[in-house]
């Protein structure tokens, strides 16, 4: 009998773990948020300007001249090791041609005009001047305009959406709605102010964007996000289910204990967790975790000492270019690491990628952009346990082949129980709207069409 107990008791204990994680464990309480928390200079609190003002991107002659001088006076770079491609980071042999193009051939005035093709605005939310684009399509009678909040991440910007916007806002005889796009720069990114004190993490940014949409007059709207935009959009859907009537993400993930448990179960029995044809996106775990360790070193730096690394990137255009464009290589397709040029022409022109760099360089915002990592990976923010609080909003995910991480629907439903669909595509990587704008837009529009069928009510404006 004692031998039987020695066998049965450990099995019961093991069996109780999934029962507890998946069924019995209560979710943490919903965090209490200060919807008016002030992030700007204290002296401005009593005289906040709440108007919405037109804004224009300007690359001043002084800034451009200084940039060119810095590029010209750069020091020689250490030569790369033989045959490494981008495996050690940005291949220094490629830097000179990129920097020469930036200083001598990049058409600053022409690109400034290109970036201003969409209407830009600023308005002060909780002490911060928040920059955003607002693109409203012209529609015929009977077509409803519905708002979509479009959120970028790091090291991207609103520039990622330029090629997708015409597809997103297109009017079609097959749809009774058209999208109005509101695409803000995250606080501390590009033309949006940065916080003057610690604490502005993803949850607090969610509040700022909820207040931005209220300022613009929207009572209900859809949200789309990748990278930080995915985390912020998920937080918005968690906190504000009355306002968010549909959430689309091209990087939906949950890092709850239950999700981790299921991933490890799948390592033993993959067919229980993931479709056979998609198993290699998640397993073997040893390979996937090895890749993450290799690629997420930047995250540890930015989550702990963003200001230190940011000093060099703020001072050196060569450093900024190498640091950011290496991500546009590796995160687009990991196989590009083996190419000497990083495969940067695989998806984009030099102008497209330098446009994005200019939004960091001209605004000196690389340090403040990276602080979002330090704030969001702080113990205070992690203790909110947002991954363990379910999103009660219809959700749709788009899963690119080369995204940094993948989770199947059975895991995603732990966080997103109202998951409507998971679109799986055999192409694309982390910067999906920038890489495959038409495919991205088509999926977003399809998702919103389905959300509208579920809601079956007219969006309140």
Following DSSP, what letter does each residue of 101-141 receive, concatenated?
Answer: HHHHT--HHHHHHHHTTS-EEEEEETTEEEEEEEE-----T
Give the pLDDT confidence score for residue 48 in this predicted structure.
87
Number of H helices, E strands in the chain: 18, 9
Domain span at residue 379? Answer: 54-458
Asked if residue 320 belongs to a domain, the reply is yes
Give the pLDDT confidence score for residue 9 in this predicted structure.
44
| Residue that has been written with the tokens 């001249």 in this structure | 65
Asked if residue 343 belongs to a domain, the reply is yes
Say whether 346 is catalytic. Answer: no
CATH of the domain at 86: 3.40.50.1820
Give the pLDDT confidence score for residue 8 in this predicted structure.
44
Q: Which of 222, 283, 373, 402 is catalytic?
A: 373
Number of compact structural domains in the chain: 1
Asked if residue 6 belongs to a domain, the reply is no
* pTM for the model: 0.93
Do 285 and 263 contact (CB within 8 A), yes or no?
Answer: yes
Chain center to CA of 288: 20
19-48 burial by CB neighbour count: b if 16+ within 10 A, else e? eebeeeeeeeeeeebeeeebbbeeeeeeee
Give the pLDDT confidence score for residue 18 in this predicted structure.
62
Q: Which of 222, 416, 430, 443 is catalytic?
A: 430
Asked if residue 450 belongs to a domain, the reply is yes
Give the pLDDT confidence score for residue 17 in this predicted structure.
58
Asked if residue 7 belongs to a domain, the reply is no
* CA–CA gap between residue 313 and residue 357 (Å, rounded): 11
Asked if residue 32 belongs to a domain, the reply is no
* CA–CA gap between residue 17 and residue 25 (Å, rounded): 10
| Number of Cβ within a 10 Å radius of residue 219 | 13
Asked if residue 41 belongs to a domain, the reply is no
Say whether 300 is catalytic. Answer: no
Give the pLDDT confidence score for residue 51 in this predicted structure.
97
* CA–CA gap between residue 345 and residue 325 (Å, rounded): 11
Please count the CA atoms within 13 angstroms of the CA of 57 that sit on its side-chain side: 30
Say whether 381 is catalytic. Answer: no
| Number of Cβ within a 10 Å radius of residue 143 | 16
Asked if residue 119 belongs to a domain, the reply is yes
At 311-367, the pLDDT tens digits run 999 999 999 999 999 999 999 999 999 999 999 999 999 999 999 999 999 999 999
Q: Name residues of the chain where pLDDT drops below 70.
A: 1-24, 456-461
From residue 346, alpha-carbon distances to 96, 111, 251, 329, 429 in Å are: 19, 21, 21, 9, 12
Q: Which of 227, 355, 387, 443 is catalytic?
A: 227
């Amino acid at each position: 009998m004692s031998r039987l107990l020695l066998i049965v008791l450990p099995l019961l204990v093991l069996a109780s773990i999934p029962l507890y994680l998946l069924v019995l464990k209560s979710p943490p309480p919903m965090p209490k948020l200060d919807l008016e928390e002030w992030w700007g200079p204290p002296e401005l609190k009593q005289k906040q300007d709440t108007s919405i003002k037109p804004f224009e991107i300007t690359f001043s002659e002084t800034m451009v001249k200084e940039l060119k001088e810095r590029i010209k006076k750069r020091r020689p770079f250490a030569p790369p090791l033989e045959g490494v491609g981008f495996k050690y980071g940005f291949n220094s042999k490629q830097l000179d041609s990129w920097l020469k193009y930036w200083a001598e051939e990049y058409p600053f005035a022409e690109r400034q005009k290109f970036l201003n093709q969409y209407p830009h605005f600023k308005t002060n939310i909780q002490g911060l001047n928040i920059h955003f684009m607002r693109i409203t399509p012209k529609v015929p009678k009977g077509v409803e305009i519905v708002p979509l909040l479009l959120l970028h991440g790091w090291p991207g910007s609103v520039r990622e959406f330029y090629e997708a916007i015409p597809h997103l806002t297109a009017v079609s005889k097959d749809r009774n709605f058209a999208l109005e796009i509101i695409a803000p720069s995250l606080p501390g990114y590009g033309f949006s102010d940065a916080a003057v004190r610690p604490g502005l993490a993803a949850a607090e940014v969610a509040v700022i964007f909820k207040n931005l949409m209220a300022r613009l007059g929207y009572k209900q709207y859809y949200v789309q996000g990748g990278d930080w935009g995915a985390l912020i959009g998920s937080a918005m859907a968690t906190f504000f289910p009355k306002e968010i009537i549909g959430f689309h993400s091209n990087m939906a993930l949950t890092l709850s204990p239950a999700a981790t448990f299921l991933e490890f179960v799948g390592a033993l029995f993959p067919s229980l967790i993931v479709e056979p044809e998609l198993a290699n996106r998640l397993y073997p775990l040893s390979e996937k975790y090895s890749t993450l360790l290799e690629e997420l070193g930047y995250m540890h730096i930015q989550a702990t000492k963003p200001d230190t690394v940011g000093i060099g990137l703020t001072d050196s255009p060569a450093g900024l270019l190498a640091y950011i464009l290496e991500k546009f290589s590796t995160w687009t397709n990991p196989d590009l690491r083996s190419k000497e040029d990083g495969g940067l022409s695989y998806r984009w022109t030099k102008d497209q990628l330098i446009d994005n760099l200019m939004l960091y360089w001209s605004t000196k915002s690389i340090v403040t952009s990276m602080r979002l990592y330090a704030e969001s990976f702080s113990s205070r923010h992690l203790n909110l346990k947002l991954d363990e609080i379910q999103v009660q909003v219809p959700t749709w995910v788009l899963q690119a082949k080369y995204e940094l991480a993948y989770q199947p629907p059975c895991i995603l439903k732990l966080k997103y129980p109202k998951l409507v669909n998971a679109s799986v595509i055999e192409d694309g990587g982390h910067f999906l709207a920038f890489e495959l704008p038409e495919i991205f837009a088509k999926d977003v529009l399809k998702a919103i069409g389905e959300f509208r069928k579920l809601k079956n009510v007219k969006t309140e404006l």
